[in-house]
Chains A and B, each alone.
Chain A
Amino acid sequence: MVAISKIATGNGHGEDSPYFDGWKAYETNPFHPIDRPDGVIQMGLAENQLCFNFIKKWVMEHPEASLCSAEGVNKFKETALFQDYHGMPEFREAVAKFMGKVRSGRVKFDPDRIVMSGGATGAHEMVAFCLADPGEAFLVPTPYYPGFDRDLRWRTGVELVPVVCESSNNFKITRAALEAAYEKAKEANLRVKGLLITNPSNPLGTILDRDTLKGIVKFINEKNIHLIGDEIYAATVFMEPEFVSISEIIEEVECNRDLIHIVYSLSKDMGFPGFRVGIVYSYNDAVVSCARKMSSFGLVSSQTQHLIATMLSDDDFVDSFIVESKEQLFKRHKYFTLSLSQVGIGSLKSNAGLFIWMDLRKLLKEKTFDAEMDLWRVIINEVKLNVSPGSSFHCDEPGWFRVCFANMDDNTMEVALLRITTFMHKHNEAMVPRKLCRRASLKLSLSRRRDDFMSQNMMSPHSPIPQSPLVRART
C-alpha cells in the first residue's frame, strides 16, 4: 500500500453518505418526456434554468462578448495571455456593479475588493483558509447546504458547529441559538473564529429580516468573530420582502468592518455554474490581499471574465434580466406551491431561492430520521422524484425536504406535480379511505422498494456517476 495523505484517505469530501442513493436512482433511470416518461425526475439540483432564452438573445446580439467571433477574435491573444490574479478591471467593475444592482442600488461595491475564486466552492474554502487555523471553528445555522462540510472543512481542518434553528419559529436565527452554539463550541474546546450565514437561505428559500441581521452583526462584534455572508442567491429573491444584504446593515449599525466578508457567485443568480465564477468580497484589507494571492489556485478563466464583463456591463440587459428572472421564479414558485397545497402539502413560506422547503412531517411513520429516510426512499423509488431529505442539511427535525423547481421546463414540472398529487391521493386514501378520491389515476405501486439500489462501489474513476450532488461543484 502506498501512503497518501490523511486528507485523501479520510472522508472529509463528504461523498460517502447514503444520500447518494437518490442520485444513483436518477442516474440509472433519468426522466425524459419521450424516451423515459417513467424515469426519475431530478429535483435535487438547485439550478436556475428559467432565463436562458433571454440570455441567449443577448449573446446573439453581442458577438463582441466572445473571443471567438469575428468581432471579438482580435482580443483573443491578449485575453488568453492574461493571468493576472487581480482579474480584468472590466470584469471586476461589471461584477461590482451587478452586485449593487441586485441589491437595488442601495449599496455600492468596490471593484478593488472583488477577488476571484473557483466558484462559490472555492470562495468558501479560501475564506476558511484566510480566517481560521486547523481545529478552529465556524458557527453555521441549520439547516445548511451540505457542501459546506467539505468546502469549509476538508482541506482546511476547520470545524463547523451548528446553530440549531427550529421550525417552531420558522427556523429563525435567534440570539439564544447563537449563544447556545457558541457555548457548545467552548465546551468542546473549539475556538470560534466566525459565523457563516447563507442569505437568502439554502435550503429554506427565505431571507433574513433586518432585525435578525442587525442582531447577528451585533453578536459577532461582541464576540469579535468574523461574519461571512454567503449571498449567492441574492438575485433569486422573487417577491417581497426585499433582500437585505450584510453590506447594507453595516452602514446602519456600528460594526468592525474587518470582520465582514461576502461570498458571491454567478452560479445561481445567472444560472452559470459551469463558468466557475466565484467571488470573495471582504471589507478587511488583509483578507482581500491574502485571498487575492490564494485566488491563483482558482482564477476565473479569462475567456469567461471577458464574456461576463461584457454582459454585466450592459445596464439595460442587467436591469431587464433581474426583472425577468424574478418574474419567472415567482411564477414557477407560485404554481408549484399552490398545486402542492391543493393536495395538502405545505412548505415553508419563502420568497427566494430555486427550491422550496417542503413539509412532509405528517407523512412520517414516526418522528425520527429513520422514518424520514424511509419516506425519502419511497419518494425516490416509487414517486420517482429525486428530492433532498432535510437530514442531509443537518435539519434538527425530521420530515422536511428540499425540492428544486427551477431546473426543469413546464412540462416536466407538470409530470412531477402529477406524481406528487397521485402519491398524496393514495396516501390520503390510505389514511382516510373515503376522502379525496377525485382525481386519482394511480400509476404507482408501492412495492419493490429496495431493488433499484446499487452499491456504493459503483463510484470509481472509471465508471463515474456524473450527476451526483458533490460531482456538481455545487448543488
Chain B
Amino acid sequence: MEFTRKNRQLLSRIATNDRHGENSHYFDGWKAYDSNPFHPIHNPDGVIQMGLAENPLCFDLIEKWIRENPDASICTAEGLDKFKDIAIYQDYHGLREFREAVAKFMGRVGGNRVTFDPNRIVMSGGATGANETAIFCLADPGDAFLVPSPYYAGFTRDLRWRTGVEIVPVHCKSSNNFRITRAALEEAYEKAQRSNINIKGVIITNPSNPLGTVLDKETMRSLVSFVTDKKIHLVSDEIYAATVFSSPRFISVAEVMQDMDCNRDLIHIVYSLSKDMGFPGFRVGIVYSFNDDVTNCARKMSSFGLVSSQTQFLLASMLSDDEFVGNFLRESSKRLAKRHHVFTKGLEEVGISTIKSNAGLFFWMDMRPLLKEQTTKAETELWRVIINKVKLNVSPGSSFLCSEPGWFRVCFANMDDKTVEVALDRIREFVLQGKEENNHEADKSQARAQRWRKQNLRLSFSSSRLYDESLMSPHMISPHSPIPHSPLVRART
C-alpha cells in the first residue's frame, strides 16, 4: 500500500510500517493460484494449492457426529433453549464446559501423560491471537525472542507487529536435521547480549512448522534448562500436536516439566483447534501458562479476542465426547500417515528427498540439487518455475527464514486423493525433465535417448521465460480488490 505523506501523518506508525509482513513477494504464488486455481474438471491445468496447511481429512467423522448430536447446537430444536444464555454469555473466563473439554482434549493429544487444568485455559483469537497475547504479557517493545528457524512466516506479524517486540532467529541446519542445539541457542543469546538486545524468551513450535518433525525429549529438556538458566520464558506453540501420525510420539513441554527442576513461571503453551481438528474458521486459540500472573493477564486480554460462545458451546459438547475424540484422533493420524506416505514415496521415486517427518500437514522438500547455485536468488527462481510452469503453489524455504536455500514446504493434507495424483505427476515430470535438461547440457546423449522413450512430455521448459506476465505487483492488494486466499489473509497458514 502506498502511503501518501498525509496518511503517514494521520495514521499510526504501526499502520504505516510493514511489520504486518504482507508486502513480501511471496504473495506472487498466491496470486498465481487465485488467478488460475486448479479444478479437476473446469480447470485441470490450473495451479494446485500446496501452500495452505489445512487439515480437511476427517470432516466425514465430524459431520456424522454433528448429525448425531443436535444438542451441541444452540439453533436446533434440541439446543434452542440454551440460545439465550449462550448468546449473552461474554464472560472472559469462558464456558466452564468448554475449558474442561479443551483441557481434556489437550491431555489426550499428549498421550494422557499430563493433566491440563481447565482454570489455566485462556481463550484468544486463534493461535494468531494467542501468540500475540503471550508476547504482550511477557515482553516490552524493543525486547526480543529467540526463534529457531525455519519458522512459520506469520510469526513476523503475530509476535512483532503491534507488540514492538523483535525476533532473533536461531538458525538450524540440515546437516543435523535442523536440530535445535544448546550451542546454537547459547550462541544466539550471547550475540544478542553483545548487541544490547534484551532476550525475553524462546518460542518453539513443536511439532515443527515447516519441518513436520517433533522435538525429542533431550532437546526439550535442554530447552527447559536453557530458559531456566537464563531466567527467560519458553513459549511452546503446540498447535500441530494431534497431527503426529507415526512415531516418535509427541512430547509436550508440560510433560517434560514434570520430572525436571525448572521454573514453572517461565513455561507457556499456545494451542489451537485450527490444525488438529481442521477448524481454522472457528478461531479457537488457547493460551495455557504455568505462571499465575500471566494467566491472569492473558485472561483480561482475551476480551480482545474471545471465542464466540456459540462455538464454545459446540466444541464443549464435541470434545467432551470421549468416544468421538478417541476415534477421531486415531483416524486422523491414520489418514495423515497414508497421505504423507503416498507423497513421500512418490517423490522418492523421482529422487526427491524430504526431511524425515512424522507430523504436521506438510513435508519439507529438498530441492537443493535442482538449484542453479546455492543462493536465495536461485531458490526464488526455482520457486517461480514451480509456480508458473509446474503450477504448484508451494512455499519457499526463505519465507520461513531458512538459512539454507533450496528447501520448500509442501502441504499434502488440503486436497483430495485425485488432486494428490495430479500434483505428483506434475512433480515427477518436472524433475525428470529437469534431469534431462542437465544431461543434455552435459552432453550424455546415449542415456538421454534411452530415457526419452519412456517420457510423456507435457511441459515445455523454456528457462528464458522465468517471469510470467501473470505476476502482479503487491500494489494490487487494496481494500477494494482483495485477494482472498493470500497466506496472511488466512489468519494462519
Roughly how many angstroms separate A286 CA and B306 CA in the complex, as a whole number? 26
Could you tell me the distance in whole angstroms from the C-beta of A88 to the nearest C-beta in chain B? 9
Interface centre among A65, A133, A288, A290 (most CB of B within 10 A): A290
Cβ of B346 under 8 Å from chain A: no
Roughly how many angstroms separate A67 CA and B72 CA in the complex, as a whole number? 11
Could you tell me the distance in whole angstroms from the C-beta of A190 to the nearest C-beta in chain B? 15
Could you tell me the distance in whole angstroms from the C-beta of B135 to the nearest C-beta in chain A? 8
Question: What's the count of A-B pairs with C-beta under 8 Å?
Answer: 305
Could you tell me the distance in whole angstroms from the C-beta of A228 to the nearest C-beta in chain B? 13
Pair A121/B137 contact, Cβ less than 8 Å: no
Pair A4/B87 contact, Cβ less than 8 Å: no
Could you tell me the distance in whole angstroms from the C-beta of A285 to the nearest C-beta in chain B? 5
Chain A positions 285 through 298: 1 when the CB is less than 8 Å from some CB of chain B, otherwise 0: 11111101110111
Roughly how many angstroms separate A356 CA and B233 CA in the complex, as a whole number? 48
Could you tell me the distance in whole angstroms from the C-beta of B72 to the nearest C-beta in chain A? 6
Among the listed B70, B128, B233, which residue makes an inter-chain contact with A68, where contact means beta carbons less than 8 Å apart?
A: B70
Among the listed B90, B140, B480, B482, which residue makes an inter-chain contact with A273, where contact means beta carbons less than 8 Å apart?
A: B90
Cβ of B292 under 8 Å from chain A: yes
Pair B11/A131 contact, Cβ less than 8 Å: yes
Cβ of A330 under 8 Å from chain B: no
Cβ of A438 under 8 Å from chain B: no
Cβ of A101 under 8 Å from chain B: no
Pair A155/B309 contact, Cβ less than 8 Å: no
Pair A473/B303 contact, Cβ less than 8 Å: yes
Roughly how many angstroms separate A472 CA and B306 CA in the complex, as a whole number? 10
Roughly how many angstroms separate A113 CA and B157 CA in the complex, as a whole number? 22
Could you tell me the distance in whole angstroms from the C-beta of A296 to the nearest C-beta in chain B? 4
Q: Please indicate the chain A residues that have their CB under 8 angstroms from the CB of B295 in the complex.
A: 461
Q: Please indicate the chain A residues that have their CB under 8 angstroms from the CB of B490 in the complex.
A: 83-85
Pair B119/A118 contact, Cβ less than 8 Å: no
Roughly how many angstroms separate A471 CA and B302 CA in the complex, as a whole number? 10
Chain A positions 199 through 211: 1 when the CB is less than 8 Å from some CB of chain B, otherwise 0: 0000000000000
Q: A79-B281, A274-B308 are known contacts. Are A285 and B478 too (CB-CB below 8 A)?
A: yes
Could you tell me the distance in whole angstroms from the C-beta of B396 to the nearest C-beta in chain A? 22
Among the listed A150, A274, A286, A296, which residue makes an inter-chain contact with B7, where contact means beta carbons less than 8 Å apart?
A: A286
Q: Please indicate the chain A residues that have their CB under 8 angstroms from the CB of B279 in the complex.
A: 80-81
| Cβ-closest chain A residue relative to B73 | A68
Cβ of A431 under 8 Å from chain B: no
Chain B positions 2 through 36: 1 when the CB is less than 8 Å from some CB of chain A, otherwise 0: 01001100111111100010100000000000000
Pair A474/B90 contact, Cβ less than 8 Å: yes
Among the listed B125, B162, B305, B492, which residue makes an inter-chain contact with A129, where contact means beta carbons less than 8 Å apart?
A: B162
| Cβ-closest chain A residue relative to B141 | A134
Q: A56-B84, A286-B1, A307-B310 are known contacts. Are A68 and B72 too (CB-CB below 8 A)?
A: yes
Could you tell me the distance in whole angstroms from the C-beta of B419 to the nearest C-beta in chain A? 15
Could you tell me the distance in whole angstroms from the C-beta of A220 to the nearest C-beta in chain B? 12
Cβ of B391 under 8 Å from chain A: no
Pair A258/B140 contact, Cβ less than 8 Å: no
Pair A81/B310 contact, Cβ less than 8 Å: no
Cβ of A410 under 8 Å from chain B: no
Cβ of B389 under 8 Å from chain A: no
- 29 example contacts (A-B, Cβ-Cβ < 8 A) are as follows A4-B291, A8-B138, A8-B293, A8-B294, A9-B293, A13-B297, A68-B73, A69-B70, A77-B59, A79-B281, A80-B279, A81-B281, A85-B489, A86-B482, A118-B125, A129-B14, A130-B15, A273-B90, A275-B87, A286-B3, A289-B478, A296-B125, A296-B128, A297-B129, A298-B125, A302-B281, A461-B296, A464-B93, A473-B303
